[in-house]
Amino acid sequence: MSVTTAETGYSFRRRWASATVLSLSLLVITVDLTILNIALPDLAADLRPTSDQQLWIVDAYSLVLAGLLVTMSSLGDRWGRKRMLLAGFAVFAVASGLVLVADSPAAVITLRALLGVGGAMIMPTTLSMLRSVFTDPAERATALGLWAAVSGLGAAIGPIVGGLLLEYFSWRAAFLVNVPLMVIALVAGALILPESRHPKPGRWDYVGAGMSVAGMVLLVWSIKRFAKESELVDPSAWLALAAAVAILAVFVRRCLRDPDALIDLGLFRRRAFSAGVLAALGTMFAMAAALLLLAQWLQLVDGQSPIATGVRLLPVAGMAIVSSLVAAPLARRLGARTVLAGGVGIAGVGMTVLAVGTGPVPYWLIALSQALVGVAIGSLAIASAMIMSGTPDAKAGNAAALEETSYDLGNVLGVAVLGSVASALFRSSLVDSPSPGVGADVTSAASESLGSAMHTAAELGLPQLAARASEAFTDSMRDTFLIGGLAMIAVAAAVFAITPRGTDVSTQHH
């Protein structure tokens, strides 16, 4: 049996070199997500996916990721976390290269699902290894701040790199850029990272893994179907929802009763742990769809080029970097509860700000909204510290998987629920108040998505349709930001109530 890092300890230089590699690993994941936001209109114009297919292109990655995070973390505990991480880099690189042969929406959805497999091997491993390498809680909180700051940096780099690539190449370059990044990560990880394993991991619950994936797929599909139909009368959606609830309920019961369960739900007995997971889940739920809609609005409504769109999305990433670096020292002065709940609440206010007013949206308001939202992204470094400070090293992989699952589940549900709400509002507005001189068949086809509306308007020479679609999309975006902002404010209040008074992320709790 290998000796764990917690038993041996590592030098200062080795610890921080490892933290750097683990943090930079997230660049691949974050850059991939933000590049897709920029590339989506170009991809939609080339492959002409339906609105439902477009949503699947966005969240197929996140759905597979959510389903496999805990499974891959459990396998990493047995096989070796370093090995799992390096294998994840390789899978991600190969999947990204396969975009060269993807020539249909279905092929891109499949490709995104394969990327989700690689991402599931990478994401929880970075956190569990940080927990193993940094045994001192105060130093770990600082390392987690670096981890979160680099994630924000990825959000900044993604739109810029994506914009530059799309200025000269097709949307496929947004995937191909992952290949050299993965090669660099693979070499650096092999040279620097230490190996660590769980000394007594127990058996791997493959039945539970299958149940979690099946339950999540059915849940998200049913939500998307309800939004697609705009009415809660679709029997297939109700059947899928009922099956999802039943499967996930059995899965939870299995986890509560089985000592070797895939997920140790006993971790949620620690209030600080629960508050951290809730903060991550709620924040990603609100922000995922909002930022996706904003990227589309800047390109298709405001008429910005891909690179100009990337530049205009910088405020959220810039503020995320700053707030990530100051979160830990600020938490030592004001308390972890105040910093985390306050950051999420400020972001909620930032999202509701964008819903103020009517007509065209000025950029200064967009920049202000993004900056306030970036505060929440940075404050999530405290959520990570709260989760890990209450978790023993033997449960580090489980805690990391639960945290990353909350991030990804929030992203999936945010895109599925809020994205579908925005689509339904757009479709309803365009159909109920059509452009003068535009037939019902043309309007119905255009209502599939904003990209479809703009393409149809250009193809048929109907500028009035483009103007009406822009107005409908702007209104739907405002309403979606308002819903997301109110959700974040509610989450902030719940996080403040759940987090124990005096929670200190610079000490280890048992």
Per-residue confidence (pLDDT) for residue 88, from 0 to 100? 92
Q: Mind listing the pLDDT tens digit for each residue in 1-31? A: 333 444 446 788 888 888 888 887 777 777 7
Dihedral angle over CA of 25, 30, 32, 34, nearest 10: -160
d(CA 162, CA 309): 10
Per-residue confidence (pLDDT) for residue 127, from 0 to 100? 79
481 pLDDT exceeds 80? yes
d(CA 262, CA 276): 20
What does the DSSP 8-state code read for residue 197?
Answer: -
CATH H-level superfamily of 5-204+262-498: MFS general substrate transporter like domains (1.20.1250.20)
Task: Tell how far CA 482 is from the center of its chain.
Answer: 20
Judged by average pLDDT, the poorest of 207-211, 225-229, 278-282 is 225-229
Q: Percentage of the chain with pLDDT > 70?
A: 91
Per-residue confidence (pLDDT) for residue 489, from 0 to 100? 94
Nearest CA to 155 out of 411, 343, 336, 338 is that of 411
Q: Mind listing the pLDDT tens digit for each residue in 53-107? A: 887 887 788 778 777 887 888 788 778 888 999 999 999 999 999 988 888 888 9
| Domain-wise residue ranges, the chain | 5-204+262-498, 205-261
Task: Tell how far CA 143 is from the center of its chain.
Answer: 21
Contact 261, 208 (CB under 8 A): yes
Q: Which residues of 109-145 are buried (b: 16+ CB within 10 A; e: fewer)?
A: bebbbbbbbbbbbbbbbbbbbbbbbbbebbbbbbbbb
CB atoms within 10 A of CB 261: 22
Q: Mind listing the pLDDT tens digit for each residue in 413-423? A: 787 778 878 88
166 pLDDT exceeds 80? no
d(CA 261, CA 246): 18
If you average pLDDT over residues 182-209, what whole number do you get? Answer: 80
Query: 256: number of CA atoms within 13 Å, CB side?
Result: 8
Per-residue confidence (pLDDT) for residue 345, from 0 to 100? 94
Residue 418 structure tokens:
């809020």
Amino acid type, 274: S
Residues 6+ apart with CB under 8 A from 277: 268, 383, 387, 402, 403, 406
d(CA 262, CA 318): 37
Nearest CA to 200 out of 397, 403, 405, 402 is that of 397
Structure confidence at residue 227 as a pLDDT band (50, 70, 90): low
Per-residue confidence (pLDDT) for residue 433, from 0 to 100? 77
* pTM of the model as a whole: 0.79
Q: Work out the mean pLDDT of the chain and round it to a whole number.
A: 81
Contact 51, 448 (CB under 8 A): yes
148 pLDDT exceeds 80? no
d(CA 378, CA 380): 5
CB atoms within 10 A of CB 354: 24
Residues 6+ apart with CB under 8 A from 160: 307, 310, 311, 314
Per-residue confidence (pLDDT) for residue 221, from 0 to 100? 74
